[in-house]
Amino acid sequence: MNEQPTTGSAPAARLGDGTLAVRAGLPAPVKNEPTLPGPAFAAHFHLPGDVEGPYTYGRDTNPTWTLLEQAIGELEAPGQDAHTVVFASGMAAVSAVLLSQARHGDTVVLPDDGYQALPLLREQMEAYGIHVRTAPTADEAQLTVLDGARLLWIETPSNPGLDVCDVRRLVDAAHAGGTLVAVDNTLATPLGQRPLDLGADFSVASGTKGLTGHGDLLLGYVVCRDAELAALVRRWRKIVGAIPGPMEAWLAHRSLATIQLRAQRQWANALALAEALTGRTEVTGLRYPGLATDPSHKTAARQMRGFGSVVSFTLPDRAHAERFMSALHLVEDATSFGSVRSTAERRGRWGGDAVPEGFIRFSAGAEDTEDLIADVLRALESAGSGS
């Protein structure tokens, strides 16, 4: 496991997700101490004499991270030896894997429909002499550009297009050629999908989204089984200093206890929304991997245990989409996703994704299903009447 102190968690593999979530990363009970110790606000720790860990300087280690890393590791890889490294944001975690693994002259394969900051990272890698190839997520198209690559980056389901690829199939082909595989697990969360179980070398995610679910903090993490790969990622964090604050780390850990409750409601709401949108004449391009009719469904059903909170669809044009957005009462017009409060946005306003002007990315929250669906249907009616 980690070189960090062990915790008092129960044998994880036999427990259900809810049990796992409420107990994840808790230290062994100590009389008169709280269940989850509060954030350790410390730039440095008492360090008389020789330099000995675990806690020396706050950019390297912090006991609040230790517990959170333990918790995330238990959710991503229950019952297994895994190494988890938390970061200040999802992009800090993504960059740490790509930039700590790829060297000048190496080739990296990215999806061409992934998170909108990946093209920025691509430019940066190319400036460092790393070759970058891209292919779409759907139909495992990345298989065609794998040859000789150092690292394959997978994002499934992809954000915002919600395409899904067969992780196991890509991993088998990549490993056969000596290529490492990282999966961006942000959209699914560890409750929806466990990339390490599908053979990936790294599971990487933004904890800003569904993992923590309250839209009040930024966080990222990397989980991997190999100690040497983990050491490179941890070294990168030390060099770049993209560390989460103790308060954010503690809030994230506190939020993890409810991840199953949040996910169950949010995923059910997303499915109900997708079903309510099915067959509406003004809606095209409806995507939700949990819909039996979705092009992603077959692969998603094989490798995912839940299909996430994000639904995407397209309204006839920009003005129609803007009328829809402003007619919503229970849904906040905001970016990001995975919050207990529903959010949606006209994605084209950012200019970064190849989406139609009327494209809506909708993140279902934990509202009562009837209330949420009624609000969306009323807003669609209102947008359709042009008012």
Ligand X SMILES: *Cc1c(COP(=O)(O)O)cnc(C)c1O
Q: Would you say 94 or 276 has its CB closer to ligand X?
A: 94
CA distance 253 to 55: 19
Task: Report CA-CA distances (Å) from 261 to 212, 231, 249, 277, 290.
Answer: 12, 33, 20, 24, 18
Best CA proximity match to 342, nearest among 242, 236, 229, 210:
210
Nearest distance, CB of residue 352 and ligand X, angstroms: 12
Out of 206, 303, 342, 343, point to the residue binding ligand X (CB under 6 A).
Answer: 206
Is residue 220 close enough to count as binding ligand X by CB under 6 A?
A: yes
CB neighbour burial string for 351-386, b if at least 16 within 10 angstroms, e if fewer: eebebbbbbbbbbbbbbebeebbebbeebbeebbee
Q: Would you say 353 or 375 has its CB closer to ligand X?
A: 353
Is residue 134 close enough to count as binding ligand X by CB under 6 A?
A: no
Please report how many Cα atoms fall inside a 13 Å half-sphere around the Cα of residue 144, on the Cβ side.
Answer: 9
Is residue 184 close enough to count as binding ligand X by CB under 6 A?
A: yes
Asked whether 278 and 286 are in contact (CB, 8 A), the reply is yes
E strand map for the chain? 83-87, 107-111, 131-135, 151-155, 180-184, 202-206, 220-224, 284-287, 310-314, 332-333, 343-346, 359-363
Out of 9, 66, 95, 159, point to the residue binding ligand X (CB under 6 A).
Answer: 159
Nearest distance, CB of residue 335 and ligand X, angstroms: 9
Q: Would you say 160 or 290 has its CB closer to ligand X?
A: 160
Q: Phi-psi category of 144—alpha, beta or left, where left has phi over 0 and alpha has psi -120 to 50?
A: alpha
Best CA proximity match to 267, nearest among 311, 216, 313, 299:
311
Q: x-or-dash pattern for ligand X, window 67-106, by CB under 6 A?
A: ----------------------xxx--x------------
Is residue 137 close enough to count as binding ligand X by CB under 6 A?
A: no
Q: Would you say 161 or 290 has its CB closer to ligand X?
A: 161
Out of 15, 17, 26, 115, point to the residue binding ligand X (CB under 6 A).
Answer: 115
DSSP annotation of 57 reads B
Nearest distance, CB of residue 153 and ligand X, angstroms: 10
Nearest distance, CB of residue 116 and ligand X, angstroms: 8
Q: Are strands 107-111 and 220-224 parallel, antiparallel or unpaired?
A: unpaired
Q: Would you say 4 or 296 has its CB closer to ligand X?
A: 296
Which residue of the chain is nearest ligand X when measured via CB?
90
**Binding residue count for ligand X, defined by CB under 6 A:** 15
Out of 7, 62, 156, 186, point to the residue binding ligand X (CB under 6 A).
Answer: 186
Is residue 218 close enough to count as binding ligand X by CB under 6 A?
A: yes
Is residue 250 close enough to count as binding ligand X by CB under 6 A?
A: no
Q: Can you spell out the DSSP letters for 14-46? A: GS-HHHHHHHTTPPPP-TTS-SSPPP---SB--
Is residue 156 close enough to count as binding ligand X by CB under 6 A?
A: no
User: Judged by CB under 6 A, which stretch of 2-10, 32-40, 41-49, 201-209 contacts ligand X?
Assistant: 201-209
Q: Can you give the binding site for ligand X, defined by CB under 6 A?
A: 89-91, 94, 115, 155, 159, 184, 186-187, 206, 208-209, 218, 220
